[in-house]
């Protein structure tokens, strides 16, 4: 499976194309639109979210709500369109890059002093197309009882220590939360931090945790470095704008532990088969799912655009100047979780199709159920 996106932040639209998506998957546009709405939600979002009311239009690859196996094209129109492909948009040249944004690096790479030519594509607005693609992958994975959720762990220095037991608890506790947080007490403090940042014309980041439950053992591979599922997930999550850190399972805390107390010991019962009582590996061992929930954390840096801009340099005069101010969020941590769910879905779907086939849902289901029967038979023989 291959996914391409196209579009600029203030262009006509954001577009996603999925190639190699199986035939026979039922797709509901309203589910995609629900995910797009979630992406626009969350306390601390900017005025752009008041302008855009994202909805998708599936242009190809689906007939009567069923995928055809041909490339799927999904369109999300931009209501606030300012730049155009076939006419002069008369937008002023932007020549003072923002620290921590793609502005300067892209200008040096492409040899163009007008950073508008780069910031429009580097903008997180592009993730609207990714959420469309991720929603289609979620709908595919639902055929195999695989669910993906996320929750906010921290905003700035305010961190929740609550560890949920399962996905159902996460869904229940994040319902109606303004920050997709499972900890109501800490969420109040997070909201205050965002208000403080708003008052100071500043921005905030945070940490998001993503869970995937229901994946059978055996998805992914250790045979080649780029076939490892944890590597694919880490790459997919790190590709989200503003993400600067990814952990799988216990992550960096592993480095502080003895192996004797941190590794997930293996148990067996005739009912459950092989299982673990802990999940420090985050559901992946040797690049392969082990049957436990996949768990990943991502660290989001503060938004790069500040209303009280930092010092920079004019690309033309080379003199000191304040960075440009583009319309932006104060904190987009809740939206970050939605995007992370989509990227997790894309990475896992890719490896799932490599394992069970790609042509049609009927064939994939047959291969999947035959594999599960083989696992059960193998484990029963060991008993």
pLDDT at 47: 66
Average pLDDT value for residue range 74-87: 90
Judge whether residue 78 has pLDDT over 90. Answer: yes
Q: What is the mean pLDDT of residues 253-271?
A: 94
DSSP character at residue 256: G
Higher pLDDT among residues 86 and 293, named by residue: 293
CA–CA gap between residue 122 and residue 117 (Å, rounded): 9
Is the pLDDT confidence value at 379 over 70?
no
pLDDT at 326: 83
pLDDT confidence band for 50 (50 / 70 / 90): low
Q: What is the structure's pLDDT at 89?
A: 85
| Residue of 9, 21, 52, 106 lying closest to 346 (CA atoms) | 21
pLDDT (mean) for 19-37: 97
pLDDT value, residue 211: 98
Q: What is the pLDDT of residue 53?
A: 84
pLDDT band with cut points at 50, 70 and 90 for residue 85: confident
pLDDT digits (tens, 9 = 90+) for 242-261: 999 999 999 999 999 999 99
Sequential DSSP letters for 47-72:
THHHH----EEEEESEETTEE-SSPE
How far apart CA 14 and CA 12 sit, in angstroms, is 7
Q: Give yes or no for residue 46 having a pLDDT over 80.
A: no
Look at the block and give the residue holding tokens 């607005």: 125
Mean pLDDT for all residues in the chain: 94
**H-type helices in the chain, by residue range?**
29-39, 48-51, 103-110, 116-122, 127-141, 167-174, 184-199, 229-238, 259-262, 333-356, 361-382
Mean pLDDT over 3-32 rounds to 97
pLDDT band at 383 (very low <50, low <70, confident <90, very high): very low
Would the pLDDT of 270 be above 90?
no
Report d(CA 295, CA 274) in Å as an integer.
19
Q: Is the pLDDT of residue 48 over 70?
A: no
376 band by pLDDT with thresholds 50, 70 and 90: confident
Residues 6+ apart with CB under 8 A from 216: 144, 289, 291, 368, 371, 372, 375
Q: Looking at residues 341-361, what average pLDDT do you find?
A: 98
Q: What is the mean pLDDT of residues 159-187?
A: 96
- Length of the chain as a residue count: 383
Three-state SS letters, 311-348:
EEECCCCCCEEECCCCCCCCCCHHHHHHHHHHHHHHHH
* 258 three-state secondary structure: coil
pLDDT at 68 over 70: yes
Domain ranges in the chain are: 95-382
Element containing residue 217 per DSSP (H, E): none
The whole-number average pLDDT for the span 9-35 is 97
Percentage of the chain exceeding pLDDT 70: 97
Question: Worst-scoring range by mean pLDDT, 39-48, 88-97, 159-168?
Answer: 39-48
Q: Is 214 exposed, middle or buried (0-12, 13-18, 19+ CB in 10 A)?
A: middle
| pLDDT band (50, 70, 90) for residue 49 | low
Q: For residue 354, what are its two tokens?
A: 């490599």
Mean pLDDT of 110-135: 96
Cβ atoms of residues 61 and 70 within 8 Å: yes
Q: What does the alpha-carbon distance between residue 23 and residue 140 come to, in Å, rounded to a whole number?
A: 10
Say if residue 381's pLDDT is above 60: no
Q: Looking at residues 18-24, what average pLDDT do you find?
A: 98
- CATH dotted code for 95-382: 3.60.150.10
pLDDT value at residue 112: 96
Average pLDDT of the residues in 299-308: 95
DSSP annotation of 191:
H
Is residue 191 scored above 90 in pLDDT? yes
Which DSSP helix (H) or strand (E) runs through 150? strand 147-155
Would the pLDDT of 380 be above 70?
Answer: no
Of 65 and 79, the structure prediction assigns the larger pLDDT to: 65
């Amino acid at each position: 499976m291959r996914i391409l996106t196209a579009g600029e932040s203030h262009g006509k639209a954001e577009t996603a194309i999925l190639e190699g998506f199986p035939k026979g998957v039922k797709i509901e546009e309203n589910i995609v639109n629900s995910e797009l709405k979630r992406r626009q939600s969350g306390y601390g979002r900017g005025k752009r979210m008041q302008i855009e009311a994202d909805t998708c239009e599936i242009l190809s690859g689906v007939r009567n709500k069923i995928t055809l196996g041909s490339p799927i094209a999904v369109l999300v129109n931009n209501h606030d369109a300012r730049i155009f492909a076939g006419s002069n948009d008369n937008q002023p040249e932007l020549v003072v890059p923002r620290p921590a944004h793609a502005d300067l690096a892209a200008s040096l790479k492409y040899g163009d002093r007008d950073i508008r030519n780069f910031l429009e594509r580097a903008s997180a607005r592009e993730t609207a197309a990714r959420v469309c693609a991720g929603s289609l992958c979620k709908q595919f994975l639902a055929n195999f009882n695989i669910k993906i959720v996320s929750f906010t762990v921290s905003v700035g220095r305010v961190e929740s220590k609550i560890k949920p037991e399962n996905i159902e608890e996460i869904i229940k506790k994040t319902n109606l939360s303004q920050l997709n947080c499972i900890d109501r007490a800490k969420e109040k403090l997070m909201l205050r931090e965002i208000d403080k940042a708003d008052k100071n014309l500043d921005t905030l980041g945070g940490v998001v945790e993503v869970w995937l439950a229901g994946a059978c053992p055996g998805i992914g591979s250790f045979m080649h470095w780029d076939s490892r599922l944890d590597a694919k997930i880490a790459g997919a999550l790190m590709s989200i704008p503003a993400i600067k850190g990814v952990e799988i399972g216990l992550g960096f805390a592993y480095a502080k532990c003895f192996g004797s107390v941190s590794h997930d010991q293996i148990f067996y019962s005739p009912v459950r088969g092989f299982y673990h009582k802990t999940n420090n590996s985050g559901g992946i061992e040797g690049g392969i799912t082990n049957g436990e929930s996949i768990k990943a954390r991502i660290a989001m840096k503060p938004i790069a655009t500040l209303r009280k801009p930092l010092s920079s340099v004019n690309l033309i005069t080379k003199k000191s100047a304040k960075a440009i101010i583009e319309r932006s969020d104060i904190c987009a941590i809740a939206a970050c979780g939605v995007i992370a769910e989509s990227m997790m879905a894309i990475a896992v779907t890719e490896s799932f199709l490599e394992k069970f086939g790609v042509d049609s849902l009927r064939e994939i289901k047959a291969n999947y159920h035959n594999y599960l029967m083989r696992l059960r038979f193998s484990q029963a023989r060991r008993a």
